[in-house]
């Protein structure tokens, strides 16, 4: 049975069943990734930024077992943001190649069409069945990044301390667990605006203005994700010359996610990128003692950042792609495929 599903009102048993399916998928497709924990799972699935909407459906086993709801065997959600519907589809490994994935995409695409959106996007992990799946549905690849993973067990902590000390004169590093303080928000948002152009076409828009930045931090907290920030303040001008953001999700607290790292163009060449990332790792070591890995995503063209990450010990893991489709064409194609 496939039905629209609201994670805010779903039973705890359904949330647990979805988590179980997600972990079975991780074990099948990304066995090196840590399994997810149930902490804040409901919030993770339901909380959104102001102005965004998420619509979900589940495929559930037909026969309830002793009054319990049937296991969740498939899940699709679409996040309506800006002018795009961002899709996520999960099918239990035991149920694959029976057409369920295609059926779920068709359901979501029809709704996105009815809502008046013209394009859909999806993140697709390289080396998994999802690549052939989305290509078979006519999605095309718009963008490829490389995911890299750092094992903290292999980090040379004293070398990191030396890197931090190597930052140029006039810069002060600051650590902000939870997010930038109020008096820094405006300067921080101005620095984030610099990468607006680079973000074009990505599915995870950055926060360019102070209010959007506050909303985005609030949303992260509500979803059980703890942000940490290191900024490099240029003392003579008060500019945030550089910043780096890492998020520790309650759902997989042993592996943190690197978000943006930015050094303003006119502050490059002072060792800021290396220093802020090194300081972040040193801070995380005490703030999050359970953390064992950090993962980061970089455009293959971003050679400077790839070099910094390689020096820190990050190892390339796999491709991470963004695929897109025009909604009307997709609906038409899926209807024709039956």
Ligand X SMILES: CC(C)(COP(=O)(O)OP(=O)(O)OC[C@H]1O[C@@H](n2cnc3c(N)ncnc32)[C@H](O)[C@@H]1OP(=O)(O)O)[C@@H](O)C(=O)NCCC(=O)NCCS
Range in contact with ligand X (rule: CB under 6 A) among 98-106, 175-183, 233-241, 255-263: 98-106
Contact 223, 234 (CB under 8 A): no
Quote the CA–CA distance of 181 and 184 in Å, as a whole number: 5
SS3 category, 332: helix
Closest distance of CB 260 from ligand X, Å: 22
The answer to whether 29 contacts ligand X (rule: CB under 6 A) is yes
The answer to whether 96 contacts ligand X (rule: CB under 6 A) is yes
The answer to whether 333 contacts ligand X (rule: CB under 6 A) is no
Range in contact with ligand X (rule: CB under 6 A) among 50-58, 65-73, 94-102, 185-193: 94-102
- Give, to the nearest 10 degrees, the angle between helix 100-114 and helix 327-337: 140
The answer to whether 26 contacts ligand X (rule: CB under 6 A) is yes
Parallel, antiparallel, or unpaired: how do β-strands 119-125 and 84-91 relate? parallel
Unique residue bearing structure tokens 């559930």: 60
Number of shown-chain residues binding ligand X (CB under 6 A): 21
From the CA atom positions of the chain, what is the Rg in Å? 21
The answer to whether 99 contacts ligand X (rule: CB under 6 A) is yes
Parallel, antiparallel, or unpaired: how do β-strands 293-299 and 315-326 relate? unpaired
Closest distance of CB 175 from ligand X, Å: 31
Among 94, 114, 136, 140, binds ligand X (CB under 6 A): 136
- Which residue number has the CB closest to ligand X? 101
Q: Please name the helix (run of DSSP H) or strand (run of DSSP E) that holds residue 162, with its range, or none.
A: helix 157-165
| The Cα angle at residue 209 between residues 274 and 202, in degrees rounded to 5 | 65
Question: Is the Cβ of residue 122 or residue 312 nearer to ligand X in the bound state?
Answer: 122
Q: Which residues bind ligand X (CB under 6 A)?
A: 25-26, 29-30, 89-91, 96-102, 125, 128-130, 132-133, 136
């Amino acid at each position: 049975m496939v039905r629209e599903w609201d994670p805010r009102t779903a039973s705890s048993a359904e949330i647990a069943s979805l988590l179980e399916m997600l972990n079975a998928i991780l074990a099948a497709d990304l066995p090196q990734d840590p399994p997810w924990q149930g902490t804040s799972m409901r919030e993770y699935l339901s909380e959104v930024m102001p102005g965004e909407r998420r619509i979900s459906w589940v495929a559930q086993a037909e026969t309830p077992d002793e009054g319990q709801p049937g296991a969740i065997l498939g899940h699709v959600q679409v996040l309506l943001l800006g002018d795009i519907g961002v899709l996520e589809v999960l099918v239990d490994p035991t149920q694959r190649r029976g057409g369920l994935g295609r059926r779920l995409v068709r359901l979501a695409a029809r709704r996105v069409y009815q809502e008046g959106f013209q394009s859909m996007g999806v993140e697709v992990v390289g080396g998994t069945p999802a690549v052939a799946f989305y290509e078979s549905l006519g999605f095309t690849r718009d963008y490829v990044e490389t995911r890299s993973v750092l094992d903290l067990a292999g980090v040379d902590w004293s070398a990191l301390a030396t890197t931090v000390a190597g930052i140029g004169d006039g810069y002060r590093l600051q650590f902000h667990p939870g997010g930038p303080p109020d008096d820094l928000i405006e300067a921080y948002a101005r620095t984030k605006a610099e990468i607006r152009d680079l973000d074009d076409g990505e599915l995870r828009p950055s926060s360019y203005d102070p209010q959007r930045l506050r909303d985005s931090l609030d949303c992260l907290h509500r979803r059980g994700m703890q942000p940490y920030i290191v900024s490099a303040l240029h003392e003579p001008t008060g500019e945030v010359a550089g910043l780096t953001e890492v998020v520790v999700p309650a759902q997989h607290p042993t592996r943190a996610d690197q978000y943006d790292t930015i050094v303003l163009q006119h502050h490059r060449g002072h060792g800021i990128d290396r220093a802020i990332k090194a300081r972040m790792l040193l801070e995380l070591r005490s703030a999050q003692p359970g953390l064992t890995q950090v993962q980061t995503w970089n455009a293959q063209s971003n050679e400077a950042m790839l070099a910094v990450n390689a020096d820190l010990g990050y190892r390339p893991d796999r491709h991470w792609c963004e695929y897109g489709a025009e909604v009307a064409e997709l609906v038409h194609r899926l209807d024709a495929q039956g």
